[in-house]
Amino acid sequence: QKEVEQNSGPLSVPEGAIASLNCTYSDRGSQSFFWYRQYSGKSPELIMFIYSNGDKEDGRFTAQLNKASQYVSLLIRDSQPSDSATYLCAVNTDKLIFGTGTRLQVFP
């Protein structure tokens, strides 16, 4: 079992919709969780981090963490074509482990 799992996608959503990206992890001792956005040919950019169970909102982005079920998700409200990118989930165990990412496509 991979330590951090993401559906590779692509996840296609229409402009204005909510995009929901999911990530599961295997280590119950994980303490902190991160979402990175990576445009094609560019480097990963940190967009959200969350440490506690529940929701954390930042603008159009909401990170959700459920440690009991070992998943973390990212919601993007009012999706825009400029949100089209690969979204990487990263989980802190004794080191930062990255998932392979979910490709999001937002079509007009």
Partner 1 sequence: NAGVTQTPKFQVLKTGQSMTLQCAQDMNHNSMYWYRQDPGMGLRLIYYSASEGTTDKGEVPNGYNVSRLNKREFSLRLESAAPSQTSVYFCASSTASGLGYEQYFGPGTRLTVT
Task: State the Cα–Cα distance between residues 11 and 28, nearest whole angstrom.
Answer: 27
Residue 50 tokens, joined: 């969350």
Task: Give the contact letters, 21-60, x = binds to partner 1 (CB under 8 A), - = no.
Answer: ----------xx-x-------xxxxx--x-----------
Work out the number of other CB atoms within 10 angstroms of the CB of residue 17: 14
Window contacting partner 1 (CB under 8 A); options: 13-21, 52-60, 72-80, 93-101: 93-101
- Least Å distance between CB 9 and partner 1? 13
Task: State the Cα–Cα distance between residues 5 and 40, nearest whole angstrom.
Answer: 20
Residues contributing to the site for partner 1 (CB under 8 A): 31-32, 34, 42-46, 49, 88, 92-96, 98-101
